[in-house]
Structure 1
């Protein structure tokens, strides 16, 4: 056989080229942490399956908590434990706070917005503006409390309208949470049956659509897949939704411009328009405003509403937990009092429930991609500038080194023997460091007030016509991990 190959120049040349290509593919860059290379062209993508975060955690037991995996033709450094994430994103935040260029995202943002902006002067100016403006309009403060409580009253009325019949609560949760964003960004809320509101939410809900979410995650990890037929056509449909969203946001901004008064700022859009007019800074443009508002809506609505949806599902599976929560609520505020952030310290079990919920069902299993802005070292391993970095949040939230029986839902793990709530710094659903979620304080306030207010008025029960409880161990796993659709009964108390 060897003689035959040597006697055929074309076969010999092809064999040599193939061997060289395989050698180049599997050759490890000396400076990167160890890890699997997968197969040529695709890397480890064929082996990740439905739960890539779990596969990566499994591999980390062999290669170590900091490892390198090849996806498509690119190398990614994956951080699989809290120590490495804290070392990178907190202690070396200036080196690890970048965002890599991702074609499927850049076609949406055009280099604007806030979530996917690379670390630099533009991001710093927009981040500072966002923090100050959101704070100024009440995010995380008492003034926002009253807005959330008002919205919960509308939500509870909508739940009552179901007359104790089984229904899927996901849509009205989505509407209620989105209305909180609307009040900050646009200065007003919408009725749940408003057609414009429904159209806006439908257009913005692309990121959690099962097909789009999974496709987007693959395209973020392996950008070149966008040229293959199935991904190409799905991406075209996705972009139609994006363009429809931006068109609607332009209309909202144009309406604000017509009634704008810099001495009477109504909302985030007005504040942005004032900054544009007074600073004459090119960073504050219409395109930046459209994309910023879109980021706030997508990030601020989906994560909180999905967490609430998972939370109610947990209550169906653990009715004793629901009873304990309601007992605590009645002891602190009674059956008619209003929820307030000031009461958090008096509700240790509710705090434990929320913290365990965010650990147990990690919404962003692989977080958002980071990039090194300069050469760095982690555990004496050299990581060069412009390396893409994945933070495996799911692995951190399911690390057996920190969690006893991590696969089980146990709020009690955060209750001290003296009955007090134990805050854990190893539960980081909003990430850590400068790139942590801009709306974290608002989201935490929403989760507490929504859950307290809903449990005060209703007992949530399984659909009596369902043969079994909806699954709690499965969901649509893409960029965001969302629960599968289910129905419940809300019995008024």
Structure 2
């Protein structure tokens, strides 16, 4: 008679052996590295180091520098990521070897929405180069970095200051006005117009556009689909991806309506703004890279980057003024000494305002807005610091690590503008402060952002004294923030007392 129990036991043992072999093979595959790759932790299968990096990934990655060195390799979800944890390795990769390190990871969710268009999200190659060159030339043509742009910013500042006055010394959240004012500056360049602060449609579009920066849940979703792209099909992540897609679609409809207006009033003899200049290239038909979709996606990225980054920098600046009132007094004293209480600030005043310049430089170091910059990707098999890095490897320049390197900075955790003032009272910038990154893919709008931060800060401190909300039990948190694509302050209220 056949012994069925014996067969069942055999099958049970066989299944256990297969599971054991599969586990060994999985672990072997997971912890296997390319030959001579950078050292670093691998984490656990499927998740990598993600469960261990916490809210502020850049800070944990910087700590691993002490164990593995400045160039490390970690597994983030199912992807290998090389992290550059010091200035030397960042310069080596992004400047000296930029052709091998200037790619961009293509995220499927974004690609479906943008249809391959944009500027910062484009992969490295001739298409990106032609679009980048056009952007730089066109920005210069419309005054970015020039005196004419200062006049536009000053006009917006008058509206911004009036909006602050309308609060009549009551505690309020200034970020709403800040977003609109900064956005109007870039809108002037791109669209040739500004929007009223009480324009509800403009306010709604800004809210939808900025969710990816200020909303922690949206930021978490982006991290998850970066770690494991297949999760975008799994609830509840799929629902979040649908919301992101819907919000961006509404933003694109708004931007398309502005392009349509420009089409109807286009005059090749009168270039009013960025859109007109781009339409001219499309109508010329000489370069097939210039398309309607590319224009739409290009201005979407400019609109987003030109709004959130600068407004958040200025919101961090105001938080510093609340936490360090003596610093606010020093700033005001210097500003009033140079331009008085009624004068208008100009970029030419920078040389006469060393403390103001030092404050801004320290602000950009102390509250690094893009801690891991924008992820790069290798375009080819390459080497860095003697390590082999395969093509299509994700690369993260850890700018936070550079800005907080204890080997370079004394007490990096403290806000000290004086660190950039020499014995003669002169402002001395540091090459270790790189908020806009370095290399050919550094921020396209750096000149405009630097101008806005200087002119807005000077005007605000000249016109108002910023005080804590008297109803709040403690000062707003300056150490914690929303960690997403950037590092954004949590909402807070303050009092603007007119001087």
TM-score by length of 1: 0.97
Distance 2:489 2:106 in 1: 30
Secondary structure, counterpart of 1:396 in structure 2: helix
In structure 1, what is the equivalent of residue 43 of structure 2?
38
In structure 2, what is the equivalent of residue 433 of structure 1?
439
Stretch deviating more after TM superposition (50-59 or 97-106):
97-106
Distance 1:224 1:50 in 2: 22
In structure 1, what is the equivalent of residue 358 of structure 2?
352
In the alignment, structure 1 residue 79 sits paired with structure 2 residue 84: yes
Which residue of 88, 113, 116 corresponds with 2:93?
A: 88
In structure 2, what is the equivalent of residue 325 of structure 1?
331
Distance 2:298 2:479 in 1: 34
In structure 1, what is the equivalent of residue 3 of structure 2?
none
Which digits, 9 at most, give the CA deviation of each residue in 1:19-43, with x for residues without a partner? 1111111122223111111001111
Which digits, 9 at most, give the CA deviation of each residue in 1:231-275, with x for residues without a partner? 211111111000001111111101100000010011000000011
In structure 2, what is the equivalent of residue 200 of structure 1?
205
Secondary structure, counterpart of 2:364 in structure 1: helix
Deviation of 1:220 after TM superposition, in Å, equals: 2.7
Q: Are 2:78 and 2:227, in contact at CA under 8 Å, matched by a contact in 1? A: no
Q: Aligned runs of 1:183-262 on 2, under 5 Å?
A: 183-208=188-213, 209-262=215-268
Stretch deviating more after TM superposition (27-36 or 158-167):
27-36
In structure 1, what is the equivalent of residue 55 of structure 2?
50
The answer for unaligned runs of 5 or more in structure 2 is: 1-8
The answer for unaligned runs of 5 or more in structure 1 is: none
Q: Are 2:38 and 2:387, in contact at CA under 8 Å, matched by a contact in 1? A: yes
Deviation of 1:460 after TM superposition, in Å, equals: 0.3
Which residue of 273, 295, 303 corresponds with 1:297?
A: 303
Distance 1:69 1:145 in 2: 44
Q: Are 1:5 and 1:11, in contact at CA under 8 Å, matched by a contact in 2? A: no
Deviation of 1:383 after TM superposition, in Å, equals: 1.4
Q: Are 1:364 and 1:480, in contact at CA under 8 Å, matched by a contact in 2? A: yes
In the alignment, structure 1 residue 125 sits paired with structure 2 residue 107: no
Q: Aligned runs of 1:90-169 on 2, under 5 Å?
A: 90-169=95-174
Which residue of 162, 174, 183 corresponds with 2:179?
A: 174
Distance 2:227 2:266 in 1: 42
Distance 1:206 1:296 in 2: 16
TM-score by length of 2: 0.96
Q: Are 1:104 and 1:216, in contact at CA under 8 Å, matched by a contact in 2? A: no
In the alignment, structure 1 residue 341 sits paired with structure 2 residue 350: no
Q: Are 1:359 and 1:429, in contact at CA under 8 Å, matched by a contact in 2? A: yes
Stretch deviating more after TM superposition (213-222 or 257-266):
213-222
In structure 1, what is the equivalent of residue 25 of structure 2?
20
Deviation of 1:224 after TM superposition, in Å, equals: 3.1
Which residue of 1, 11, 16 corresponds with 2:16?
A: 11
In structure 2, what is the equivalent of residue 395 of structure 1?
401
